[in-house]
Structure 1
Amino acid sequence: MAIPDHARANFNTLLRAAGDGNLALMECMDAVTGERRYVLCAVGRDGSDYVFTPFGHLADGDPYDAYLPPDPDDPNGFMPKPEGGPAP
């Protein structure tokens, strides 16, 4: 499964921000659910102002329960979630 160009560009921006010391973790409120989120942001400047560009939030709880990895035997599929247990 190919990673889209926009996702790859965002990832490279995060890598550059981290390498330059311009990465922040900011507490925010989810605009839809109202829940607290801890958001990874690249930090830039606009004149004397700081600009925080959000890229995504950290997973709540156990991230192994939140995501399913790609299936190595199916380039378009994902590993199934085991019944009664955490994701692989």
Structure 2
Amino acid sequence: MAIPNHARTNFDTLLRAASDGNLALIECLDASTREPRFVLCAVGRTGGEYVFTPFGHLAGGNPYDAYLPPDPEDPAGFIVNPSS
């Protein structure tokens, strides 16, 4: 599966923010569940104020349990049980 352009653009912005030292980790509340989340943000300035642009939150617990990796033998597939 191809990564969409908006995701590539956001990733490039995130890399640029990291290389410029303009990256922050901020504790927020999930808008739906009200659970704490640690959100990765790019930091910018508008006038004299800081602007934080959220890109995503860090996975809680074991991130290997949260995601299914792409299947290298099937470009459109994912490995359903990575331990097998």
TM-score for the superposition, normalised by structure 2: 0.96
Partner of 2:18: 18
Q: Which amino acid aligns with 2:21?
A: G
* Distance in structure 2 (CA, Å) of the matches to 1:28 and 1:81: 32
* Distance in structure 2 (CA, Å) of the matches to 1:77 and 1:12: 25
* Distance in structure 2 (CA, Å) of the matches to 1:60 and 1:4: 25
Identity across matched positions, percent: 74
Aligned partner of residue 65 in structure 1, secondary structure? helix
Structure 1: give runs of 5+ residues left out of the alignment: none
Partner of 2:55: 55
CA RMSD of aligned residues (A): 1.3
CA shift digits 1:26-83 (9 cap, x unpaired): 000000010000000000001000000000000000000000110011110100125x
Aligned partner of residue 76 in structure 1, secondary structure? strand
Query: Which runs of 4 or more aligned residues in structure 1 lie more than 4 Å from their structure 2 counterparts after TM superposition?
Result: none
Structure 2: give runs of 5+ residues left out of the alignment: none
* Distance in structure 2 (CA, Å) of the matches to 1:3 and 1:62: 24
TM-score for the superposition, normalised by structure 1: 0.91
* Distance in structure 2 (CA, Å) of the matches to 1:30 and 1:81: 28
